[in-house]
Amino acid sequence: MIRIKKHSVRDAVDGYIFILPWLIGFLGLTLVPMAATLYLGFTDYDMFSNPEFVGLKNFVKMFSEDNRYWKSVRATLYFAFFSVPSKLIFALMVALLLHNKRRGNYFYRALYYAPSVVGSSVAVAVMWREIFKPNGLVNAVLAVFRLPSNTVWLGDPRFAIWTLILLVVWQFGSPMLIFLAGLKQIPTELYESSSIDGAGPFRQFFRITLPLLTPIFLFNLIMQMITGFTAFTQAFIVTEGAPLDTTNFYALYLYRRAFENFQMGYGSAMAMVLLITIALMTGLVFKSSPYWVHYEAE
């Protein structure tokens, strides 16, 4: 009994020593600006005059008067709903494809990581418009297959968001790399011994690879969810929220309200709602994780 207690005290002390660097950074650098942002949500703040406390006014306006707010919620949910799973599945598939000792994989990985490296440069925006323009590459390919090929992808309220979904799925490099590192970590002995037991590749995949990859999958899922809900750059550089606000993502709208319309209070209120939403969804995923995430250690 006493031993256990002693052990846990040591654990607590060591634990705090290990997380100390983060704790210092959080309390010293991050907490104050974060708390300030949350407070500003309850104020009218144009960034130059002193913030003026207005209670829930910003939230009332957001929920009941602002059409564009709800459009941005819809656009963001739509975007996250389609882009997050596609990106994850694609990343996982490619990681599995490239996780073997075939010649050339070294090279292919660089190739597949390339789109993620171009990131958000202006060049990407120009190029994306080029590919999706009415007489661009996409329509040319569709014409070859005799499919309708006169769609104005970036100007059509039905499709514009899909070009952005494609853009983020195309930049699947980071989750792919994380999956690859995860696959790397699975001990080869496990495969060897199960081969001896006569397990085929499919059984191995479902009995060994997938379960042991779940911690990494959890990480990728949560990170992609957060990135999906806070998506900004793609819309900012390619579509600017158009057409008809169908790509006016939450974070973009929030930024515009705050910086371009001098409504920092309103923007902060929007940010607070976003934080709470993401936190709840992340919490749900964590709550569900004991049922599907397999930790080697526990």
CB of 163: closest distance to other proteins in angstroms? 9
CA-wise closest residue to 266 among 250, 254, 252:
254
* 175 lies in the site for other proteins, by CB under 8 A: no
Near other proteins in 11-30, by CB under 8 A: 11-19, 21-26, 28-30
Near other proteins in 219-258, by CB under 8 A: 219, 222-223, 226, 229-230, 232, 239-240, 242-245, 251, 254-256, 258
* 105 lies in the site for other proteins, by CB under 8 A: yes
Please say which residue, 127 or 199, places its beta carbon nearer to other proteins.
Answer: 127
48: how many CB neighbours lie within 10 A of its CB? 7
* 279 lies in the site for other proteins, by CB under 8 A: yes
* 189 lies in the site for other proteins, by CB under 8 A: yes
8 Å CB contact between 233 and 216: no
* 296 lies in the site for other proteins, by CB under 8 A: yes
Near other proteins in 29-68, by CB under 8 A: 29-30, 32-34, 36-37, 40, 46-49, 67-68
* 211 lies in the site for other proteins, by CB under 8 A: no
Distance, C-alpha 122 to centroid of its chain: 21
8 Å CB contact between 75 and 160: no
CA–CA separation, 162 and 193 (whole Å): 45
The overall longest dimension of the chain from CA atoms, in Å, is: 78
Q: Which residue's entry shows tokens 């690859």? A: 180
